[in-house]
Structure 1
Amino acid sequence: MQQLLASRIALTPRPLPRLNVALEVAMLGHCPGPVRIERLLALGSAVAEMRHAGFGAALDALQAGTADAELQLLHHVPVPVRSSAEFHDIFPAARSTDTTYISTLAGRRAWLPRCVDDFFANGGEKLWVVSIPQQQGLNGFLPAANTQLHDVSTLRGIATALVIASVGSLSLPDLERLQIPARLPDIPRVRLDNPDPQFLPCGTNTDDDHRERRHSSEVALSEMPDPAAFNVLLQGILPFMAQYRPDVQCLLTLPLAYAGELDSPAVDQQALQWLRDIRDGDSGHRLRQMQFLFPYLRGAQFSLHSPAGVIAGKQSARAQHVGPWRSIAALPLQTDGLPYPRLAVAETVSLRDNPGVCVLQQRSGTLQLDDERLVVPALHPEDYAYANNLQRFDGFRSAEVMRLLGYLQRQLNALGDQLVFNIDYRDPRPRLLLERFFRHLQQQGALRGATAEEAFRIREISSREGAMIYEIMIAPAFPIDRIQLTFTNVDGQWQGGIGGV
């Protein structure tokens, strides 16, 4: 929102809404400060989408002025925005108001507002924002025990976003902020010797920001609660997503811990071990819906910050222009932050291979994602029970493959909803529509194979009268993670070979 003429005129840019967005993103976090309900109700398209998602009763209460205090703050209500200006118009003080949880590294401001800015700065077009009450802590982000998807009044946390059928990606920036230990120390600065006494003019600034000083917030930091265990957090997210929305992908940055050998913050090794334990257990297939990120971002204008907004915005833009099956690895990301803490090459390779983390790197003056890596292959849950060697499927440990599968599920569900009331089960048109849909995907490079017959196969299954069942087999395209060059000396002659790994 731009302020003109001493704030007497406010301009809120509103882009033309796109009818079909390939990858809609939901973002949950804290929005402290007042909420301008009248600005939300003035967005006709946003109000219509919220009613279509099932939140019409909440809108009626807001319009009639009978909403309770929690609803007036839009807590646990998904709000679709098309630009960062719309968000700041509805939540005008969210970026400048202090939060109840503060820490040495993460500061005292919410992360959601800046992640919204990062999302649209990187090309994102549509974002569902869900405000979480700060007093609920971790529980505010997790679904309630009595959640019933058909009853909006029981929805809490991620459940409020997952009931929206068009949402394909989820991020939780302020949940990541709550996972930063309050008193985790920063990278120590270089100690400088005190200068020799000398006479200086009045008003000379002698603060070099390098000497040790006591913070006024030390008492407040000691009163902050400890972060929840990372495995408890995952246990609250993974089962619910796997049961109700197996097509959705969640972005989550790994927590930090103090590394004594480095004398600085580093990735929490206990969290990495929990990831490996879940991967090797019976519920390891659920991790295919999680895309873990590391490290965080830090800039001159802000303290520690989540990279989820940058990644989600670039993924949404990439999906809109060339398809959700395209990776954003090695593409420039728009942000004024730098990776924190910085990782060596060996650390990057270690996180990428085991357990499987997407690492942000600064290369040639731009921020890039090293690789869109998953902890486990993007396979059907039943495939894990019969696979003797999952290493054979390492090519499917790619987040873009998971996005493709999720995109297919949402598109096929939408197609089924359209056909169920319009076409007889004996009509041949559904099969023709499916063939045209998958042939278009093959031509765009989403599926492997030189011909449509090699890329997919559709088989109609005979069943009871009145039912229509199709079995669809596809060969999704997946990237080559590494190039392996082989040189062999045969009878004194060198021969070269190349292969993808």
Structure 2
Amino acid sequence: MEWLAGARIALTPRPVQRRAAALEVAMLGHCPGRVRLERLCALTGALDDMRGAGFGPAVDALAAKKMLGGAALSAQLAGLFHYPIPLHSSAEFHDIFPDAASETTSYVSLLAGDRAWLAQAVDDFFINGGEKLWVVRIPESEGQNGFMPAADTRLHDIDTLRGLATVLVIPSVAVVALPDLERLQVPPRLPDVPRVRLENPNPQFLPCGAHTEDDHRERRYPSELISMPDPWPVEDVLRGLLQWTARHRPDMQTLLTLPLAYSGEIDSPVVDQRALGRISRIRKDRDSESRHLLRHMQFLFPYLRGPRFALRSPVGLIAGKQAAVTRAKGPWYSIGALPLLSEGLPYPRQSIAQMLILREEPGVGVLQVRTGFSGRDQLCLDDERLVMPALPPSDYTEAENIDRFDGFRAAEIMRFLGFLRRQLQALGDHLVFNADVNDPRPRLLLEQFFRRLYNQGALRGKVPEEAYQIDQPRQTQEGAIQFDIQIAPAFPIDRLFLTFINTNGEWQMEVNGG
């Protein structure tokens, strides 16, 4: 306490109360170098959030600096491997992982270099308006497997959680990004655009220490590169991520940048056509089990290149802008054509024709540089495109022509549906301990929730009665109650049917389109 004005005014400084984030994001990646556990323990709010997510035993061990039985901290806990850490600024990240941006990594490639991508993605996230980020450190020695849940994963058992599974248990996480998984998918010997060789200088006398070469060779010999593991096929990456997301967190969306290949025709890196072909085949195969899972994946292209980095992922920019727009306008708004803050530019650059092809087939959001109203060039995402419609599979499974659902291939629609799931699930969790099947309060709370959405512009209609309709609750069986809700979203979905069910004290929500 500080006394001012002759002890007539008492000033008691307190930290600003953190507000709830509108859109919480999780990032999985590599953090080489030191880990300062004492700096994490100083963030009491972060430790409380970790306890709330179910990682209380790990937090207790960190606070005591020893395991429960008195033994030294395990290597996993001492390195903070496979533990989600909530952060509210990039400064907090660099305080805990001071070497993450500068230390070299074990995986090295000609194009992506030898630095981890997570640190830059965290900076991009907060610079573009992100509020809360869950960071999960993945051991480099585990390669791509480190990002995937283990085969024996049990979500109710924290000790079995690895990779993506560590954030599946956090109900508030809406978007997941994996920048260093993308880095591992850059082929180690993928060459860059060849530089133009300088002409040999004219013969002249120079000091012995003078350097006359152009510091460049168009190709390195393969023998000069340390043997690195090959990237995974794109279908293996998708299968490892989406089967868990769709089963346990259908409200969650994953950002992923498409892999690169080399084109001998134009002598430049390009989008991997084999990966595009595999994604397109999955999309068109009506019998494929992975077809409907693709709606949970938002593909991006190209990468970024700037004066301070050779190649980086754009997922941090996109996730940060999505969080900022959700806070300002709502999750049903797109970030398409909005300016993104970055030192980098798209690499490799895409022509308008290439952009249109990627957007239509299979359905990729393309980063580009546009001239804004001020006359300055600005980086932006052309469209939040999805591969599959953001609708329940039952709505279009029997359709002869899936192209008629192209208007629903939008990531903002998927975010809105995920938002509805999380909000109604949270409402149901609250009502479990405060209401029974005969209590009138659930209907009143639903009325308030959807009227608030209508006032915010998420639902369309001249009056609230045209925007949503909550039918009378039906008691389908003993100990169960069901609310059937119809809403008319402001974007091009004709009507959504929400089913809010209480079965023996547990509330659940189902979504169907119309």
Partners in 2 of 1:204 and 1:333 — Cα distance? 43
Cα deviations across residues 400-449 of structure 1 (Å, max 9, x unaligned)?
00000001100000000111111232122211211221122122222233
Structure 2: which 5+ residue stretches go unaligned?
A: 1-13, 67-71, 372-376, 494-514
Matches within 5 A, 1:90-109: 90-109=96-115
Matches within 5 A, 1:360-375: 360-364=367-371, 365-375=377-387
Give the 3-state SS of the residue equivalent to 1:363 in structure 2: strand
Matches within 5 A, 1:22-421: 22-64=22-64, 65=66, 66-200=72-206, 206=212, 208-209=214-215, 211-212=216-217, 219=223, 221-281=225-285, 282-283=288-289, 284-364=291-371, 365-421=377-433
Give the 3-state SS of the residue equivalent to 2:27 in structure 1: strand
Partners in 1 of 2:358 and 2:106 — Cα distance? 33
Amino acid paired to 1:246: P
Give the 3-state SS of the residue equivalent to 2:225 in structure 1: helix
Give the 3-state SS of the residue equivalent to 1:291 in structure 2: strand
The question of whether the paired residues in 1 share the 8 Å contact of 2:384 and 2:410 is answered with yes
Going from structure 1 to structure 2, the CA distance change for 1:17 and 1:220 (only over 3 Å counts) comes to: farther
- Pairwise CA distance, 1:15: 8.1
Provide the residue aligned with 2:497 in structure 1. none
Provide the residue aligned with 2:464 in structure 1. 452
The question of whether the paired residues in 1 share the 8 Å contact of 2:150 and 2:161 is answered with yes
Q: What TM-score does the superposition give when structure 1 sets the normalisation length?
A: 0.89
- Pairwise CA distance, 1:18: 3.0
Moved more, 48-57 or 451-460: 451-460
Give the 3-state SS of the residue equivalent to 1:468 in structure 2: strand
Give the 3-state SS of the residue equivalent to 2:304 in structure 1: strand
Moved more, 263-272 or 52-61: 52-61
Provide the residue aligned with 1:474 in structure 2. 487
Amino acid paired to 1:151: D
Q: How many residues align?
A: 465
Amino acid paired to 2:204: Q
Moved more, 452-461 or 147-156: 452-461
Cα deviations across residues 101-124 of structure 1 (Å, max 9, x unaligned)?
000010000000010000000010
The question of whether the paired residues in 2 share the 8 Å contact of 1:17 and 1:82 is answered with no
Amino acid paired to 1:467: A
- Pairwise CA distance, 1:67: 1.6
Going from structure 1 to structure 2, the CA distance change for 1:468 and 1:19 (only over 3 Å counts) comes to: farther
Structure 1: which 5+ residue stretches go unaligned?
A: 1-13, 481-501
Moved more, 197-206 or 377-386: 197-206
Going from structure 1 to structure 2, the CA distance change for 1:213 and 1:397 (only over 3 Å counts) comes to: closer
Moved more, 53-62 or 241-250: 53-62
Going from structure 1 to structure 2, the CA distance change for 1:461 and 1:389 (only over 3 Å counts) comes to: farther
Provide the residue aligned with 1:432 in structure 2. 444
Amino acid paired to 2:166: T
Matches within 5 A, 1:474-493: 474-478=487-491
Cα deviations across residues 216-242 of structure 1 (Å, max 9, x unaligned)?
x95463401111111111111111110
Q: Supply the RMSD in Å over aligned alpha carbons.
A: 1.9
Give the 3-state SS of the residue equivalent to 1:92 in structure 2: coil
- Pairwise CA distance, 1:136: 0.5
- Pairwise CA distance, 1:455: 2.2
Partners in 2 of 1:148 and 1:265 — Cα distance? 41
Give the 3-state SS of the residue equivalent to 1:425 in structure 2: coil
Q: What TM-score does the superposition give when structure 2 sets the normalisation length?
A: 0.87
Amino acid paired to 2:330: G
Partners in 2 of 1:164 and 1:337 — Cα distance? 32
* Percent of aligned pairs with the same amino acid: 62
Provide runs of 4+ in structure 1 moved above 4 Å.
200-209, 217-220
The question of whether the paired residues in 1 share the 8 Å contact of 2:246 and 2:293 is answered with yes
- Pairwise CA distance, 1:205: 6.1
The question of whether the paired residues in 2 share the 8 Å contact of 1:374 and 1:399 is answered with yes
Partners in 1 of 2:385 and 2:218 — Cα distance? 41
Cα deviations across residues 68-99 of structure 1 (Å, max 9, x unaligned)?
11211100000000000000000011111110
The question of whether the paired residues in 1 share the 8 Å contact of 2:148 and 2:240 is answered with yes
Moved more, 121-130 or 460-469: 460-469
Amino acid paired to 1:212: R
- Pairwise CA distance, 1:479: 6.3
- Pairwise CA distance, 1:477: 2.5
Going from structure 1 to structure 2, the CA distance change for 1:208 and 1:453 (only over 3 Å counts) comes to: farther
Provide the residue aligned with 1:486 in structure 2. none
Give the 3-state SS of the residue equivalent to 1:461 in structure 2: coil
The question of whether the paired residues in 1 share the 8 Å contact of 2:191 and 2:219 is answered with no
